Chain A
């Protein structure tokens, strides 16, 4: 099973700042990695798939990069609605699909 390790666990930033979230896989997943956003009490929402493709309706301030075992989600300028928990997920080697433990972006 591929283990995804996200860092940091918590990121404390202010609106307008740049957020950089990391996801590291225990073995290569190629570019088969996605990012989800989860706000309090809500379901996760797909943000980025196949490492760098934004899902429908996702603002351009969200971008993804990486390959193999190291991936990054960047939020170029934080908006108030971006403060949430972010999860990475792989489908490079499954079953099972696996998720990281999450990074909380807080004000």
Chain B
């Protein structure tokens, strides 16, 4: 079955760029759309954006100017870059597959990223 695993630095300095990677196994990354969702500590879920291997992307308007999501088909991975981070970007970041019907399933285990001043 499809499995996802996030990786990247757990600490990013304020004003810098957060970079995470999601490794996909169990399916070719070209077969589905892929998405990122985040969850600040103790709070709810916020959709960040999605991507397709051919370059199609769609981002949350609230983050649009700072977000880039890309696919690396050679490594069966996709990535998230979030620029100019602040403390408000501290969260657990999840990657997930966008299954047919546009629902998110399954999800990676998540990775906590803290933004320090």
List A residues at the B interface (Cβ < 8 Å): 1, 34, 36, 42-46, 49-50, 55, 87, 89, 91, 95-102
List B residues at the A interface (Cβ < 8 Å): 37, 44-47, 58-62, 94, 99, 101-110
Cβ contact of A46, chosen from B61, B62, B94, B104, cutoff 8 A: B104
Cβ contact of A43, chosen from B46, B60, B108, cutoff 8 A: B108
Q: Which residues of B contact A55 (CB under 8 A)?
A: 103, 105
A89 to B107, CA, bound (A): 15
Q: Interface majority SS on A: helix, strand, loop or mixed?
A: loop
Q: Are B45 and A99 in contact (CB under 8 A)?
A: yes
Q: Which residues of A contact B45 (CB under 8 A)?
A: 36, 44, 87, 89, 99
Q: Are A102 and B59 in contact (CB under 8 A)?
A: no
Q: Which residues of A contact B47 (CB under 8 A)?
A: 95-99
Q: Which residues of A contact B62 (CB under 8 A)?
A: 96
